Structure 1
Amino acid sequence: MIAKDLQSGVERLGELIASAKTIVPFTGAGISTECGIPDFRSPGGIWTKQRPIPYDEFVSSQEARNESWKRRFAMEETWAAARPGRGHRALASLYRAGKVPGVITQNIDNLHQSSGIDATDVIELHGNTTYARCIGCAKRYEIDWVREKFNNGGGLAPSCPACDDPIKTATISFGEAMPEVPMQRATELAQDCDLMLAIGSSLVVWPAAGFPLLAKRSGAKLAIINIQPTDQDDLADLVIRFDIGETLGPFVGN
């Protein structure tokens, strides 16, 4: 069912939420655009303006690492200023009500955690850009530390003092292996829910896009909230192609 208007879509969504015992949101970039974070993939998005740096290139090239960190620091004010939007807050309300055991997200912005969902219940398939890790020993580094080393080093991306391997934002790049534990947890959540909410995702990035399909095939209802059509719309029980904040705003609790 494709909602013909926002009101009927919100009403049907409310019915699905009310009747569901276990709801698992699956979120993509669209839920964060009202927070000032630009989309990567959509027309006019970041990747239409600059080529993403693959993982093997980051590992093998100091120049690529320098450019990667230069881009990250150029976005620092955007990441730092972002606050949870209506979509994040609505999901946090459902979480507090005991309906949402965890959120599966493709996003790297930390906004689900900021909305009040415990970090252990935010399943980050593509990592998190608000801190960094050594790709060798996995030691954590804060962004401020990396920036200081970068600036003091004349624009050279620093290596790990402990093992001398490159330091990278704690995100998953193209060509990098998906994180095993989050993938397993996401699989379990998708198989055990009775309603999955796919919100703000183009559903074209695999293997992440397989989780709504898995939930549907495991017997769950599937609602897709995305301003643009997706390849999974035909499988969904409800499709809402309206603004995410306006759609989920009515579900923001106290």
Structure 2
Amino acid sequence: MRMRPTLSWTPAADLPPGTTDVTPVADVLSAGGVLVVSGAGLSTESGIPDYRSEGGSLSRHTPMTYQDFTGSAQARRRYWARSHLGWRTFGRARPNAGHRAVAAFQRRGLLAGVITQNVDGLHQVAGSDGVVELHGSLHRVVCLSCGAFSPRRELAVRLEETNPVFEPVAAGINPDGDADLTDEQVRGFRTVPCTICGGVLKPDVVFFGEAVPPRRGEHCRELVREATSLLVLGSSLTVMSGLRLVRQAAQAGKPVLIVNRDPTRGDQHALTRVALPLGTALTAVADRLNVPVDGERAPRA
């Protein structure tokens, strides 16, 4: 059966309300051993929209599914045309105060690890180490035939050379780096094959309808087992891969805290949900802990 993206989620009326008090987050971080799980909401202040908030990209855009991508050359052409254009904007995004705060907490030794559902690489640019990219990264490309990986920047150059006059104007950009273009705008776009075997190239991201690689999933579960608490940043937890980690922590009796402006699917498991913008909330926490938030690495190509 073909799986389609989950387009919406309605929170239960009896979920605990959000708060603007960051004290519990500061208290948990001060004790150390915190595992961060971040979502698209953390990158909105960098100009990358999320999926499910009011005005999020799912209100106008249905993401590519694994089944569509692998089953249709036309779908692949449409995806790569839109993604090629989106990459130009996506690649210019810079880390915001939220990303920098997470990196600062890690430098202070307060974190047990960082897991992100995002594919933008902004945690690493902000200075975080050992980030587990649960859903992969747009900065890599994989061949579906031979399994070879290559940098996205190399593919971008090849697509530029193959489509020298491709200059459409996009209606918007999405969290997966996909630009909003019409079928007419992508008509005539030419994809390129793997340089090693001629196979089909795919971004190294987990599409809707595709499973997280088992080894990566087990690594994330191990990080939850080793952590003393879980801090969710900017995720609605609608996707099971993130919610599963929250449930695991809660079942083990570990505190779960969430910073997200809107209700989430994991609120029933949380000690608190701070309903503030991520940059505002995490900067306030850093100030309370006297943790300087600064520094940024060179951009990823």
Once the two structures are TM-superposed, the CA of residue 151 in structure 1 deviates from its matched residue by 4.0
CA contact (8 A) 1:194 1:219 kept: no
User: Within the alignment, does 1:17 sit opposite 2:51 as a pair?
Assistant: no
Q: What residue in structure 1 maps to residue 144 of structure 2?
A: 135
Residues in 2 aligned to 1:157 and 1:147: alpha-carbon distance in whole angstroms: 11
User: Within the alignment, does 1:253 sit opposite 2:292 as a pair?
Assistant: yes
Once the two structures are TM-superposed, the CA of residue 41 in structure 1 deviates from its matched residue by 3.1
Once the two structures are TM-superposed, the CA of residue 46 in structure 1 deviates from its matched residue by 2.5
CA contact (8 A) 1:53 1:68 kept: yes
Q: TM-score, normalised by structure 1?
A: 0.90
Once the two structures are TM-superposed, the CA of residue 200 in structure 1 deviates from its matched residue by 0.5
Pick the aligned partner of 1:197 from 231, 234, 251.
231
1:107-128 deviation line (CA, Å, top 9, x unaligned): 000011111112xx21111111
Q: How does 1:5-84 map to 2 (within 5 A)?
A: 6=20, 9-18=21-30, 20-84=31-95
CA contact (8 A) 2:139 2:153 kept: no
1:42-77 deviation line (CA, Å, top 9, x unaligned): 333223323222112211221111111111122123
Q: How does 1:103-114 map to 2 (within 5 A)?
A: 103-114=114-125
1:146-169 deviation line (CA, Å, top 9, x unaligned): 233334445222121222221111
Question: What secondary structure is seen at the aligned counterpart in 1 of 2:207?
Answer: coil
Q: What residue in structure 1 maps to residue 257 of structure 2?
A: 223
CA contact (8 A) 2:194 2:200 kept: yes
Across the aligned residues of Structure 1 and Structure 2, the Cα RMSD in angstroms comes to 1.8
Q: What residue in structure 2 maps to residue 144 of structure 1?
A: 153
Q: What residue in structure 2 maps to residue 212 of structure 1?
A: 246
Runs of 5+ unmatched residues, structure 2 = 1-15, 164-188, 294-301
CA contact (8 A) 1:2 1:240 kept: no
Q: What residue in structure 2 maps to residue 238 of structure 1?
A: 272
CA contact (8 A) 2:112 2:227 kept: no
CA contact (8 A) 1:135 1:168 kept: yes
% identical equivalent positions: 33
CA contact (8 A) 2:232 2:258 kept: yes
CA contact (8 A) 1:22 1:193 kept: yes
**Structure 1 residues 206 and 137, CA, compared in 2 at 3 Å: closer, same or farther?**
same
Pick the aligned partner of 2:218 from 172, 184, 189.
184
1:170-205 deviation line (CA, Å, top 9, x unaligned): 111122221222211110111221111011000110
> Relative to structure 2, which stretch is displaced further, 237-246 or 160-169?
160-169
One-letter amino acid of the structure 2 residue matched with residue 86 of structure 1: A
Once the two structures are TM-superposed, the CA of residue 2 in structure 1 deviates from its matched residue by 4.9
> Relative to structure 2, which stretch is displaced further, 143-152 or 21-30?
143-152
Runs of 5+ unmatched residues, structure 1 = none
Q: What residue in structure 2 maps to residue 87 of structure 1?
A: 98
